[in-house]
Amino acid sequence: MECHQFGLFATSTAQSNDSTATEGAIHGVPSIEKITFYLVRLEDGVILDEKAFCNDFINLAHSIGAYLYEDLLCIVSLRYQTIHILQIRDSGNLVEVRRIGAFCREDDELFLHSHVQSGYGGSFLPGIKQRLLSYIFRKTWNEVPDQTLRVQHLKKKFYFHFQDYVDLIIWKVQFLDRHHLFIKFGSVDGGVSRSTDQNLAFFAVYNMETTDIVSLYQNSSEELYSLFEQFYDHFHANPQDSSHGKFISSHSNDIHALDQLRTIKNKASSSSQFVKKMMASLPYTCQSQSPSPYFDLSLFS
């Protein structure tokens, strides 16, 4: 936070790969007995509040599973496929203001239980997964205006890959602003491994207020790469008007960095593989930049 009053720290017990399956947990994702986030007052080191997750898996390495934007903290539960949005209050409290996963709206669970017949033994897809499938269906539907050809197009592009879409899980999340999340979806194997360059992945822009997916890109998308190249700074949700923000050089604000990036791209043997490699780092973690005048390429190039 800008006032620099608080510090966020996290601890966890050892990871277990032999975790027993529990309701709502994703098969293949390891378990950690307890993960705890602490809000500490930096002035005297007093722990003001804490948030614990039990028998869950949150990737704490390089802050991959947590993202801080102003007074909002996003924590991603890989095991239960839930995005927890917490607010850091001035009083020194961690307050959960939103939970995205099985349900997207606060009253989704109540609405579902009030409309489902008693004794129904089936299962429902998580709310965030339904939003994803709905977006893919509508996008595929609108790609072909002809009614006759549209059915065949849906079979080929949507229904044939339906189970692949259903099997996608949330890998990583970052804030774009206070209302939008940038979510990376992929396979279970890619979600817990360190190398994800070659894995198929999708990037979604999710509006927390409307609970809609605004846009969706595959990790080999040239359109997404173009946005990444032109608006790189927007993928780092840092206040650019801060005193240190002007020292952050990138290929969207510095011609020298852009020349370097395009030179590397032109030398790549495969444009598609280059795009996938560049997209592998998205979404960014909030602490992945180190502002310093010594890193300003306009001064040292």
How far apart are the C-alpha atoms of 187 and 196, rounded to whole Å? 10
Which of the listed residues 77, 100, 123 is the one where a domain comes to its end? 100
- In this structure, the answer to whether residues 77 and 186 fall within a common structural domain is no
Residue 63 DSSP code: G
Indicate whether 142 belongs to any domain.
no
Which of the listed residues 100, 128, 146 is the one where a domain comes to its end? 100
Indicate whether 295 belongs to any domain.
yes
Best CA proximity match to 126, nearest among 94, 167, 90:
167
Q: For residue range 253-291, list pLDDT tens digits in order.
A: 777 777 877 888 878 888 888 889 888 888 887 766 666
Distance of CA 79 to the CA centre of its chain: 14
Indicate whether 11 belongs to any domain.
yes
- In this structure, the answer to whether residues 266 and 176 fall within a common structural domain is yes
- pLDDT of amino acid 58: 95
Q: What residue type is assigned to position 294 of the chain?
A: Y
The dihedral built from the CA positions of residue 281, 287, 1 and 80, taken in this order, carries a sign that is positive
Q: Specify the CATH number for the domain of residue 8.
A: 2.40.10.480
What confidence category does residue 235 fall into, taking pLDDT thresholds of 50, 70 and 90? Answer: confident
- In this structure, the answer to whether residues 183 and 273 fall within a common structural domain is yes
- In this structure, the answer to whether residues 61 and 184 fall within a common structural domain is no
Indicate whether 275 belongs to any domain.
yes
- In this structure, the answer to whether residues 197 and 293 fall within a common structural domain is yes
Indicate whether 278 belongs to any domain.
yes
- In this structure, the answer to whether residues 82 and 182 fall within a common structural domain is no
- In this structure, the answer to whether residues 172 and 57 fall within a common structural domain is no
- In this structure, the answer to whether residues 95 and 212 fall within a common structural domain is no
Q: Which two tokens stand for residue 198?
A: 């070659």
- In this structure, the answer to whether residues 79 and 193 fall within a common structural domain is no
- In this structure, the answer to whether residues 53 and 175 fall within a common structural domain is no
Indicate whether 159 belongs to any domain.
no
What confidence category does residue 33 fall into, taking pLDDT thresholds of 50, 70 and 90? Answer: very high
Count of CB atoms situated within 10 Å of the CB of 184 = 24
If one counts the domains in the chain, the total is 2
Residue 88 has pLDDT above 80, yes or no: yes
Q: Which two tokens stand for residue 136?
A: 């893919």
Which of the listed residues 75, 100, 125 is the one where a domain comes to its end? 100
What confidence category does residue 297 fall into, taking pLDDT thresholds of 50, 70 and 90? Answer: low
The overall pTM is greater than 0.95 = no
Best CA proximity match to 75, nearest among 92, 98, 46:
98
- In this structure, the answer to whether residues 85 and 200 fall within a common structural domain is no
112 and 125 Cβ atoms separated by less than 8 Å: no
Higher pLDDT, 294 or 247: 294
Q: For residue range 57-67, list pLDDT tens digits in order.
A: 999 988 899 99
Residue 240 has pLDDT above 50, yes or no: no
Phi, psi (rounded to 5 degrees) for 13? -85, 180
Indicate whether 113 belongs to any domain.
no
Region 196-213 average pLDDT: 87
Region 34-42 average pLDDT: 95
- In this structure, the answer to whether residues 177 and 301 fall within a common structural domain is yes
Range(s) of the domain holding residue 18: 1-100
What single string gives the DSSP state of each residue in 174-203? EESSSSEEEEEEE-HHHHHSS--TTS-EEE
Q: For residue range 116-169, list pLDDT tens digits in order.
A: 765 555 578 899 999 999 999 999 999 999 888 999 999 999 999 999 999 999
Checking 293-299 for CB contacts under 8 A at 24+ apart, the result is 293/247, 295/247, 295/248, 295/249, 296/247, 296/249, 297/249, 297/254, 297/256, 297/257, 298/249, 298/254, 298/256
Q: Could you tell me which residues come within 8 angstroms of residue 19 by beta carbon, excluding any fewer than 6 positions away?
A: 25, 30, 31, 55
Indicate whether 59 belongs to any domain.
yes
Q: What is the mean pLDDT of the chain?
A: 85
